[in-house]
A = this chain, B = another copy of it.
Amino acid sequence: MGNSMEPATNPKLFLPEYKHIVEAKDRISRFIKHTPILSSENINKIAEAELFFKCENFQKVGAFKFRGATNAILQLSDEQKKNGVATHSSGNHAAALALAARMAGCKAYVVMPENAPKVKIEAVKSYGAEITFCEPTLQAREQTLKEIVERTGATFIHPYNNPMIIAGQGTACIELLEEVNDLEIVMAPVGGGGLLSGTALAGKGINSGIKVFGAEPELANDAYQSFTKKELMPALKPNTIADGLLTSLGTLTYQIILSNVDRIVLAGETEIVSAMRLIWERMKIIVEPSSAVPLAAILQNKAIFKGKKVGIIISGGNVDLSNLPF
């Protein structure tokens, strides 16, 4: 999603700080689920580390995205709320924005590609959003969204390159560190970078000595490339089972990650599927492939994590049970 087309109603693209996450936590806490943190002795034995999983798969709409969407919508003026919010997405952000909008009593316009999975369309519809279908190209999605914003005056809520979205996503890490306060590393998967940015700001804000790692599929390693080359690189033909991580970093998330993240660790496709199955079998929780990327990266790079206390944000649990990779 290019920033060039961002409508004027978009909140200013300032760089959020730790204090914005603390404010977000106060703002959204009575609307979101305070999700549990789970551990598995079996997985710890395999990883030779002590892992703590913050289960955002149990969050409303089944993903951390609900935190950011709620924080962004609660920031709007009454005037803005009257005109509603808009986004384009085929994934969890659309459902999160739709539900957060309904809770705030405002309208949500969602542009979805006409080939979006039926289950995702149904979810967005069930939360009462107005869906506009378009051709499955980024250009068509942006153009359609632009028309809707011009026609309705709705506020465009970007899925990750928005300071209020980033601040909302960071609240999961605050909850994690409140409960397990001696973590040495916190880890989140990275796609567009909203979750990793928020996690990094929260982690370093609470404990400047903590290490913050991103986990990314080898086959969609734009964040790794951008981070290593210190230059914002687009994702080139990303192709991974971790469908939540196909997007590229945005201008804000890139800057935050560059300044606050210590390392980006990669995971192969086979390892992602194995880690996903391991989580299902040993922890008895349903996680989507993107959520398994941190564990996959740990098991592929055990030396880095050996003996450490590591917190992992499980990003979501929305999978098609009729179409599992195992």
Contact = CB atoms under 8 A, between A and B. Distances in A.
A281 B61 CA distance: 11
Per CB-CB distance, the 4 closest pairs between chain A and chain B, nearest first, are A284-B317, A284-B286, A57-B284, A36-B36
Q: Is the interface of A mostly helix, strand, loop or mixed?
A: mixed
A55 B38 CA distance: 12
Interface string A275-288: 00100110111110
Interface residues of A, number: 21
Contact of A321 (B62, B317, B326): B326
Given A36-B36, A58-B38, A321 B284 contact: no
B326 A284 contact: no
A317 B58 CA distance: 17
Interface in A22-68: 36, 38, 41, 55, 57-58, 60, 62
A96 to B, nearest CB: 15
Contacts of A283: 58
A5 interface: no
A235 B269 CA distance: 47
A62 B284 contact: yes
